[in-house]
Amino acid sequence: MFLKFESEVGSLLQDAIKAAGYEVEMLCLETSDYADLASSVAFKLAPKYEKSPKRIAEDISRKIRIPKKTLIDRVEVKGPYINFYVNREFLNQTILQILKEGERYGSLPKKRQRIILEHTSANPTGPLHVGRGRNPIIGDTLVRMLRCAGYDVEVQYYVNDMGKQVAAIVWGYDNVERNALPKLERDKPDHDVVRYYRKATEIIAERPDVDSQIAQILSRYELGDSNTIERFKRVVNKCIDGQKRTLERLDIAFDRYVWESQFVMDGSVDKVLGKLKKTKYIKQEDGALVLDLTSFGVEKDFVLTRFDGTTLYTTRDIAYHLWKFDHADIVINVLGEDQKLSMEQLRCALKILGLRKEPKMIFYSFVSLPEGRMSTRKGVVVDLDDLLDEACERAYIEVQKRRPELSEKEKRRIAEIVGMGAVRFDIIKVAPEKMMTFKWEEALDFEKQGAPFIQYSHARACSILKKARKIGHGFDSSLLTAPEEVELIKKMALLPSIVDSAAQDLKPYVVATYARELAETFNQFYRAVPVLKAEEALRDARLSLVNCTRIVLANVLNLLGITAPESM
RNA sequence: GGGCCCGUAGUAUAGUUCGGAUAGUACAGGGGCCUCCGGAGCCCUUAACCCGGGUUCAAAUCCCGGCGGGCCCGCCA
């Protein structure tokens, strides 16, 4: 409804500007504290027409004729600003729309554009850790938003199975005695794998000969030796299975796992190299093949192959990206900030190969420990599994405090919902490029206004509706005139435009901010206005409003990948 | 040394794309609220744009120069 209001205001203002004898491209419309929509267009016109912004705003507003059938209530000029306000019809329509669309409310029309979004793509060397923990959460939230905004999205995890790291683990399985390994910390396959990885790196540091053994294993793999392939698959799958289990708790899943090796084995990496070799950008250096990208403003050469002709990670990534663009209109990657340079090089290589489109990148800063960066290899990590467990434990304590009468099973269920929600929200609410330092107390502080606050508001709405038992069908939404009621409706009307801008700008945290604001607005309403005790007609109208809020809160939480509990 | 990113109350953040109204919010601190349908709540209150120049009627926002932190800088992924 807000999008419709915005377009009505847009054309009305456009016409008025013309009628007043001005010309301008940007209408400078924005939401503001002073109005439902405000335009600062008068400022833009002032220098050109050499009049004061205030006079221009007055000129324009005199030409504004609000049509009969509209969502606009009135227009006010405040100094240089032109302010627009919604009318009763807008509010009534919003309520009806939410009730009609239900869980679809907020979704935008299908766009018929296909997106491949890649996220997480962690090295298959061990369990996911908190350092890169933002990746799956940012990625998954984006996927949910983009789908809601009408895109057809496929989510992919790119499996880096061709690295030396994986070869080192394969070597470890053959050469390390089981009893030489540290105790298995958690009964999950990824935690088993990482023990071999760490032990193998330890041994490599002491015995230089092992390095060449690992190189041999890797080269047998590249050549397609079937026995070696089996062993790689076993190790990598073990690792991925473990990671999948972790992500399941956060309600994160992938549509497709794309193995890096497939592009080497099917010859597409060779094809890419062949094409690049024919371009003027290619150079040989000590047998290695490099791309000179200075003409693209990238100072660092892109190393495509080693001296022995074997390919490197980013080279294979070119083939993967060509494949992605064959299957999608838009390609989005969620990556750590350490990938910036190589992604810039990749972008150039794709251009050289004649590709018109380029992938969109979301870079996030690592979550570091107070003492420094996390590392799987060194074992300096906080495992995501541990964080999730701890979140759940702390949530359980809170549930126990508030709802001791519930069954143990129910308390555990709620604790899981609250714990996972808190983790997701805590990560998504911050812009990806901001640095985060991980501290247990802060990450798991439920006192802050986070996911539990929003979940609680939803549970409350459900509770009221449950107590009311039946909701009158023939309610009159015009009765909802208290300021808290009007604010709540206006807030809910914003959801589609929030989804639109979040998807447009790939900014998942705007949804998080909106969710918190909506919950807050509902709490204010709840505090100020009685529902169940109101007289009948008003009661029905307010119950419908509560029902709308329940729907919108649930939809927003779903967008964030957070469960909306009916009680907690 | 070079490149990219970040710097907003005690702490954590929004606003920066595209310069406009009183810089929004949370936690912590101070003070209130059970006439209430769930107090994981509501209402007050204290407190901030890293520094220095410049552009502009107007700068947290744009430009230049510093300072502090993060990431990256050819055969790792």
Phi, psi (degrees; rounded to nearest 5) at A361: -120, 135
Of the options 3.40.50.300, 3.90.870.10, 3.40.50.620, 2.160.10.10, the CATH number for the domain spanning A119-368: 3.40.50.620
Element of type H or E holding A29:
strand A29-30
A188-247 residues near strand B (Cβ < 7 Å): none
A144, A560 Cβ separation under 8 angstroms: yes
Bridge partners of A368, per DSSP, are A437
Q: Is the CB of A445 under 7 A from strand B?
A: yes
Residue A399 Cβ < 7 Å to strand B: yes
Q: How far apart are CA A227 and CA A210, in angstroms?
A: 20
pLDDT of residue A348: 94
CA distance A232 to A170: 7
Is the pLDDT at A129 greater than 80? The verdict is yes
Q: Give the closest nucleotide to A78 (alpha carbon vs C1').
A: B21
Position A384 pLDDT exceeds 90: yes
- Rg value, chain A, Cα: 28
- Residue A300 contacts strand B, CB under 7 A: yes
**CB of A302 closer than 8 Å to CB of A314:** yes
Question: Integer distance in angstroms from CA A506 to C1' B63?
Answer: 28
The tens digit of pLDDT for each residue in A210-226 reads 888 998 898 899 888 99
Q: Where are the domains of chain A?
A: 2-86, 119-368, 384-559
| pLDDT recorded at residue A215 | 87
The superfamily (CATH) of domain A384-559 is: Isoleucyl-tRNA Synthetase; Domain 1 (1.10.730.10)
**Amino acid identity, position A80:** P
Does the model's ipTM exceed the 0.85 cut? yes
Question: What average pLDDT does this structure show over A283-304?
Answer: 90
Q: Give pLDDT tens digits for A455-513.
A: 999 999 999 999 987 666 678 899 999 999 999 999 999 999 999 999 999 999 899 99
Query: Does any strand B atom come closer than 7 Å to the Cβ of A123?
Result: yes
CA of A533 to C1' of B35 (A): 12
Strands A330-336 and A360-364, by their bridges, are parallel
Q: Is the CB of A524 under 7 A from strand B?
A: yes
CATH H superfamily, domain A2-86 = Arginyl tRNA synthetase N-terminal domain (3.30.1360.70)
Mark residues 81-120 of chain A whose C-beta is closer than 7 A to nucleic acid strand B.
81, 83
What integer best gives the mean pLDDT of chain A? 91
3-class DSSP string for A159-227: ECCCCHHHHHHHHHHHHCCHHHCCCCCCCCHHHHHHHHHHHHHHHHHHCCHHHHHHHHHHHHHHCCCHH
Give the lowest-confidence range in A39-43, A399-403, A429-433, A445-449.
A445-449
Q: CA–C1' span, A528 to B42, in Å?
A: 9
* Residue pLDDT, tens place only, A153-193: 999 999 999 988 999 999 999 999 888 899 998 999 999 99
Contact A161, A122 (CB under 8 A): no
Q: Is the pTM of this model over 0.90?
A: yes
Task: Quick: pLDDT tens for A297-350.
Answer: 888 899 999 888 888 999 999 999 999 999 999 999 999 999 999 999 999 999
> Which positions in strand B are less than 7 Å from the protein's CB atoms?
2-6, 12-15, 17, 20-22, 25-28, 36-43, 57-58, 69-77
Whether any strand B atom is under 7 angstroms from the Cβ of A303: the reply reads yes
Distance CA A386, CA A372 (A): 19
CA dist A446 and A138 (Å) reads 21
Using pLDDT thresholds of 50, 70 and 90, give the confidence band for residue A46: confident
Q: Would you mind telling me the total number of residues written for chain A in this entry?
A: 568
- Give A564's DSSP letter: -
Looking at residue A472, its pLDDT comes to: 60
* Beta-strand runs (E) in A48-105: 72-78, 81-86
* Positions 306-345 in A, CB within 7 angstroms of strand B: 306-307, 312-314, 337-342
User: Do A436 and A373 contact (CB within 8 A), yes or no?
Assistant: no
Q: For residue A442, name the pLDDT band (cuts at 50, 70, 90).
A: confident
| Greatest mean pLDDT range, A20-24, A93-97, A207-211, A531-535 | A93-97
pLDDT at A448: 66
- A82-114 pLDDT, tens digit per residue, is 999 999 999 999 999 999 999 999 999 999 999
Predicted local distance difference test score (pLDDT) of residue A194: 94
Is strand B within 7 Å of residue A53 (CB)?
Answer: yes
